[in-house]
Chains A and B, each alone.
Chain A
Amino acid sequence: MKGRRLKYLVAGGIVVAALVGMIYSGVKESVVYFYTPSELTQKKDSVEGKSLRVGGMVVDGSLKWDPQALLLTFQLTDGQGVVIVRHKGTAPDLFKEGAGAVVEGTWTRDGYFRSSNIMAKHSEEYKPPVHPETLESKKELFKSILKEGKP
């Protein structure tokens, strides 16, 4: 009976050690959930044709909708780099100029990002509406959205 208890204790110890070890090594390695526009413009040659995600804020005034071709064109920025995105189809309700978005797709040779899926990204901060909406509050939202992608 004593031997069995020891067996369970050792087994429990190994399991916990393995889990902790993996969590620790997992935290150390940085995982990129999405590229920022400036990162993408830096390494666009190496990622051409590969399926990836880009996240940023939709540039004010850049959103164009062509109802004939069902083509949505807009620019994403992180404050430094800018990426032109073309998307066939409609966007989610929360997708608007000045808001955050993550797009999935590929970087094409013609200098734009062909998106197959738009996801409106919202911040993990929840607050009641502030009136009037200031530039400062927008900047804060942008910062909190970028932070999420880079844990």
Chain B
Amino acid sequence: MARLSFAARLHGGAAALLLAVGLYWGLLAVPADAFQGEVQRIMYLHVPSVSTAYLAILVTFCASILYLWKRDLRIDAVAHSSAEIGVVFLGITLATGAIWGKPTWGVWWTWDARLTVTAIVFTMYVGYLMVRAFAEEPQAGARYGAVLAVLGLPAIILNHFAVQWWRTLHQPSSLIRPGGPSVAPVILWPLVFNIVAMLVLYSYFLLERVRLERIRHRAAESRLKRGRRG
């Protein structure tokens, strides 16, 4: 039986603890936004999820380029795992966004620029995972996945601008903008804390998922060897 190493358990424990503290801070300890009221608190889950998701996609892109260059299946395992985690966080982002949208905008879903782009990116990477699942052999799946990830980044940027020109309703990004963030410090600090917690969780998932891929690879190899002997 494969047991988690001490370092891995420490890593996972730290992620859980940080998230627990961050969510307590954001959901219970600080006051809610003056205008939006209690629904604003979903931001403490929504914003960390979306930043983690886009980081995961960026990691997939870099690992894919590196894979096409070095042809090392271990690098591909990073790309694949990161994409999988990215899709999960994108799903959380879309779900929490919809829950936020209902009381705030009056609709579960609206074809607002950033919502639309996130949904497009989500479908793109679900497609990526499907291609990898449907490929006939692991090497082919790795190549197809890498090609899709390379196409994905310029496509996301173009999608962003296309949809931006098309329509927008989502408030401009509060954290990243010239002139510093427009969030009051009392709300900003728990938000930043939660982003960090989510990133620790992401790194934990990524490491463990890559390890799982390695075990799976080894299992497939030993099965192959046994088959040959018998």
Contact = CB atoms under 8 A, between A and B. Distances in A.
Contact flag (A, B; Cβ within 8 A): yes
Nearest to A127: B184
A102 B36 CA distance: 16
Given A19-B154, A148-B171, A129 B104 contact: no
Interface in A1-43: 15, 19, 22-23, 26, 31, 33
Given A127-B187, A128-B187, A118 B182 contact: no
Given A26-B165, A127-B34, A122 B104 contact: yes
The secondary-structure label for the interface of chain A is loop
Contacts of A102: 169
A31 B106 contact: no
B30 interface: yes
A118 B167 CA distance: 15
Nearest to B36: A122
A95 B106 contact: yes
Interface of A: 15, 19, 22-23, 26, 31, 33, 90-95, 99, 102, 117-130, 133, 141, 144, 148, 151
A121 B169 contact: yes
Nearest to B40: A126
Contact of A92 (B33, B107, B168, B184): B107
Nearest to A133: B34
22 contacts: A15-B154, A19-B154, A22-B158, A23-B161, A31-B165, A33-B167, A33-B169, A90-B106, A91-B106, A92-B104, A92-B107, A93-B104, A94-B36, A118-B106, A123-B171, A124-B174, A127-B183, A128-B32, A128-B184, A128-B187, A129-B31, A129-B34
Contacts of B167: 33
A60 to B, nearest CB: 16
B51 interface: no
Contacts, number: 95
B186 interface: yes
A69 B5 CA distance: 67
Contacts of A125: 174, 182-184
Nearest to B35: A122
Contacts of B103: 92-94
B33 A119 contact: no
Contact of B34 (A15, A19, A26, A128): A128
Nearest to A15: B154
Given A33-B167, A92-B104, A94-B103, A126 B187 contact: yes
Contacts of B187: 126-128
Contacts of A129: 31-32, 34
B33 A126 contact: yes
A92 B35 CA distance: 14
Nearest to B110: A119
Given A92-B106, A119-B110, A26 B182 contact: no
Given A91-B106, A93-B103, A94-B103, A122 B157 contact: no
Contacts of B183: 125-127
B105 interface: yes
Nearest to A121: B169
Most buried by B among A23, A123, A125, A151: A125
A92 B172 CA distance: 20
Contacts of A26: 161, 164-165
